[in-house]
Chain A
Amino acid sequence: MAIQCETKNGVGVVTVTGALNAPVAESFHTQFVAWFDNQPGLLQVAVDLGGVGFIDSLGLGALISVFKHVAERGGDMRLVRPQQAVKLVLEITRTSRILRMFGTLEEALRDAAR
């Protein structure tokens, strides 16, 4: 798993590649929180899951945990381009009802800018 964090048009863009699963869930959480805490005032985050082929419950737990961290600041988080297998998991678990999904990063950024 690799995680890349940047800011575009005032929106935090976190790109994740590889499996988001048990061995890396904690690392994902740690890296995300460390980056986010260094971005004071950042309220909108888009997590690009296009490179994530697999997610397990610890990976999803990490995703929800970082969402709660963002929400505590009053912010919101979006998910971008989840692959079919990941999208299914997000739908089954109802995560998709909390973290809205977008087909492209541009759509997510536009939504965040509203």
Chain B
Amino acid sequence: MKELRMKPTTAAHKLNGDITADALLARFQDHIKYSRGKHFAGATDFDKLASLSRAIRDLAVERMLATQQTYYDRDAKRVYYLSMEFLMGRLLSNNVISLGLRPVVEKALGKLGLSFEQLCNYEPDAGLGNGGLGRLAACYLDSLATLEYPGYGYGIRYRHGMFRQEFDNGWQMERPDDWLKFGNPWEIIRPEDAVPVLVYGRIENLPAIGDGPPRSVWVDWQMIDGVPYDIPIIGCGVNTVNILRLWSARAAEGFRLDVFNQGDYVRAIQEKNWAETISKVLYPSENTHAGKELRLIQEYFLVACSVRDAVRRHLKKHESLDNFAEKNALQLNDTHPALAVAELMRHLLDEQDVPWERSWEITVAALGYTNHTLLPEALEKWPVPLMERVLPRHLQIIYEINDRFLDSVRLRYPNDDERIRRVSLVEEGEVKQVRMANLAIVGSHAVNGVAQLHSDLLKANLVPEFAQMWPERFSNKTNGITQRRWLLACNPGLAALITECIGDKWVRDLDALRKLEPFAEKPEFLQRFLAVKQANKQRLAALIGERHGIAVDPQSLFDVHVKRLHEYKRQLLNALHIIALYHRIKDNPAGDFVPRTFLFGAKAAPGYHMAKRIIKFVNSIGEVLARDPDVRGRVRVVFLPDYCVSLAEMIVPAADLSEQISTAGKEASGTGNMKLALNGALTMGTWDGANIEIAEAVGLDNIFIFGHRAGQIEAMSRDGYRPHEWAERDAELRRVLASIRQGEFSPGAPGLFDDIHRALVEWGDTYFHLADFRSYADSQQRASDLFRDRTTWARKAALNVARMGRFSSDRSIREYAREIWNLRPVPVKVAAAKPTM
């Protein structure tokens, strides 16, 4: 089967000329010598990776400069995507594909006996995110550039990204992720654009002069510098190269030489260390209490740097901020950057002297807010005393916004104190708290959820008063994924097969996959489709064998459950089903069972004890099953450590079955569900998040949908959910629960999983595992039965692929651009250049 060769557009090649393999090779060798300071013979793998990345970056930088100049010249409206997380993963392979240079690169490296794929594998993941929210941000950057929208990402250049996960006796251990250990060849540091950020202090009132009003200044603050690092975001098949600007914190004044000279070396670098701490570590969970103050400072750091940068860019072309909202849109990826409301107001009021009313108009018109969760515990609130200490001026502004907002609510809904209590930006209580979601909603002209169900629940349950007041502000923007990474790059076999059948239009227009539908009726196509899947499974099996010494059977059904570990995502429900299956095998050792490999990948927040116990539980089940001769060759449970983007790129193309089994009404959207379906896995899913829209798109015949719907879950919660009653009605479930209580999966450590048993039976089963168990187990049986007929399975999987067009992040970004940002594409034209060499 021929490898897909992306045909670059003519325009895309004008700038650099049709770079030849020899020219690229020369650049590569130059970087080995001049950037790494080595002869080729002495170059390490990383030297080679860095040099190739630099050679590719050189090509991107030319387009990046042209892109920025075009935006400036055309006074284009820009969108800034503010996100505390950008889960970028590896960049080399995608950048090479976007530039249409894969064949050239392979040829060039081939001349030196180097493998492109192997070099790509040396690249560390830029794991600057926890999960879906961060990966969504990365997909959106790809789509913005490919669709030629003037878009910028703003984030934090964490020195240590998401922790590296290892297992010790089945328990998760967290190790620091040192992704910058050898440097990052893609980034360009811009110290000249460093910006000051002030935190802490107090507002001091000064006496009025003459008849003037009393005035106040912000004093006793501490200053940090935000230093930008730019990463080019290369549009696929176009000239556009946008920028992801990541901010790194450093002490504004280096270190205290006067103190150092007095011999107090520790104190001399104290401030420097404190400042650098701000961009040191990505918080693994927004729910953690530890380091709350640092997290608040991180969020403000991102916002302060980004708003100042956007304002600076605007003022290069315009004399004032009066038209700021006409020329700039700032999108808040969840509430983490919600302080942008107060920060932009502060800019306008304090630095630009714009009156309050006009400042507010500009702020609301410029900002948009994307909500990502309905879980009450994940809705950010900051204690007022903390905010007063860290951001005294911003708290003043928030209070003022709240006063004015509540006045308007009182006017519209007189004598409705309960409403006032619910919509206030400040939650009353023993310790007052600032509600960041309320701040983001009040301060934005557009609020969106990320799947239809989520958007509906957001309006109906989470913030109904706001939806009632401002129905026009609320909309849905279902998440999407970039097919450039999640099919073209990660699944070259399937990409090539699709292109062979329907051409490569799908790379920039995923709806074109529809043309694949008739092929799903052709046995020859289905055989090739299955062969691609099989090759991907063998590739993953080889990786598992190589890295972990575990043999998995590529002929077995690969049942994949990869995502953050959270109780609502119900990895535990999957585990309960595995136990049930185990019991069935034990009861009938000679039975005919469809062999399955259960693959898990998930990190638990370090402070989330139940999540970590569930990881241990799954690992323990895996061990027990692996030791049992009755099970051998039938069921294998593998929890792959350190789930990350690059590992996902290996797992996703190899999956047969995609576990998307969250409690209905809890998952905002999910994007793993989209990636897996796009790569020909069938979904085992609940009526939750984007699963519902995937079911609509692929058809109920081509998906396994089970379990209670969100309304039913809500009704059970309201009317009293009694999990033990579900267990009493189901003998198989009773046995599963009994085996946990009896320590079947914790030999030698009785009681190890008592908390899991109690959570399910005694503590109310918050996430309705028991209520959905039967429906889930029956669906799993249907999946096993179907898997026996590979051709029928392949037909359904191929139809999934063909019908996933609407889940491209290109569609999402077009909707944001049209309905929230009022943004138009700005194609970048470049002068024809002479071919290099």
Give residues in A with beta carbon < 8 Å to B.
19, 21-23, 54, 56-57, 60-61, 64, 68, 71, 76, 85, 88-89, 91-95, 97-98
Task: Report B-chain residues with C-beta under 8 Å of the C-beta of A61.
Answer: 219-220
Bound form: Cα–Cα A22–B253 in Å: 11
> Taking A56-B223, A56-B253 as contacts, is the C-beta distance between A91 and B350 under 8 angstroms?
yes
Contact, CB under 8 Å: B351 / A64: no
Contact, CB under 8 Å: A98 / B223: no
CB distance from A18 to the nearest CB of B (A): 12
Bound form: Cα–Cα A68–B215 in Å: 12
| B431 interfacial by beta-carbon distance below 8 Å | no
Known: A68-B207, A93-B198, A97-B350. 11 other contacts (CB 8 A): A54-B253, A60-B219, A68-B206, A85-B196, A93-B217, A93-B219, A94-B216, A94-B393, A95-B217, A97-B353, A98-B217
Contact, CB under 8 Å: B350 / A92: yes
CB distance from B63 to the nearest CB of A (A): 30
Chain B 262-290, CB-CB to A under 8 Å as 1, else 0, gives: 00000000000000000000000000000
Bound form: Cα–Cα A98–B353 in Å: 12
Task: Report B-chain residues with C-beta under 8 Å of the C-beta of A21.
Answer: 253
Contact, CB under 8 Å: B222 / A57: yes
Task: Report B-chain residues with C-beta under 8 Å of the C-beta of A93.
Answer: 198, 217-219, 221
Contact, CB under 8 Å: B217 / A92: no
Contact, CB under 8 Å: B215 / A94: yes
> Taking A21-B253, A56-B253 as contacts, is the C-beta distance between A92 and B218 under 8 angstroms?
yes
CB distance from A93 to the nearest CB of B (A): 4
Nearest chain A residue, comparing its CB with the CB of B204: A64
CB distance from B303 to the nearest CB of A (A): 13
CB distance from A48 to the nearest CB of B (A): 20
Contact, CB under 8 Å: A94 / B218: yes
Query: What count of chain B residues pass the 8 Å CB interface test?
Result: 25
Contact, CB under 8 Å: A92 / B198: yes
In this complex, the member of A23, A57, A64, A92 whose beta carbon has the largest number of chain B beta carbons within 10 angstroms is A92
> Once A and B bind, how many residue pairs between them come within 8 Å at the CB atom?
59
CB distance from A87 to the nearest CB of B (A): 10
Chain A: interface secondary structure? helix
Within 8 A of A (CB), among B201-215: 201, 204, 206-207, 209, 215
Task: Report A-chain residues with C-beta under 8 Å of the C-beta of B216.
Answer: 94
Nearest chain A residue, comparing its CB with the CB of B215: A98
Contact, CB under 8 Å: B215 / A57: no
The 9 A-B residue pairs with the shortest CB-CB distance in the complex, in nearest-first order: A93-B218, A91-B351, A23-B258, A57-B221, A94-B350, A94-B217, A98-B215, A95-B217, A93-B217
Contact, CB under 8 Å: B350 / A89: no
Task: Report A-chain residues with C-beta under 8 Å of the C-beta of B220.
Answer: 57, 61
Bound form: Cα–Cα A56–B204 in Å: 16
Chain B 240-262, CB-CB to A under 8 Å as 1, else 0, gives: 00000000000011001010000
Bound form: Cα–Cα A40–B112 in Å: 82
Bound form: Cα–Cα A93–B346 in Å: 10
Bound form: Cα–Cα A76–B256 in Å: 33
Task: Report A-chain residues with C-beta under 8 Å of the C-beta of B223.
Answer: 56-57, 89
CB distance from B49 to the nearest CB of A (A): 37
Bound form: Cα–Cα A56–B219 in Å: 10
Nearest chain B residue, comparing its CB with the CB of A61: B219
Contact, CB under 8 Å: A57 / B219: yes
Contact, CB under 8 Å: A71 / B201: no
Task: Report B-chain residues with C-beta under 8 Å of the C-beta of A89.
Answer: 196, 198, 223
Chain B 344-381, CB-CB to A under 8 Å as 1, else 0, gives: 00000011010000000000000000000000000000
Bound form: Cα–Cα A41–B252 in Å: 39
> Taking A85-B196, A92-B198 as contacts, is the C-beta distance between A54 and B217 under 8 angstroms?
no
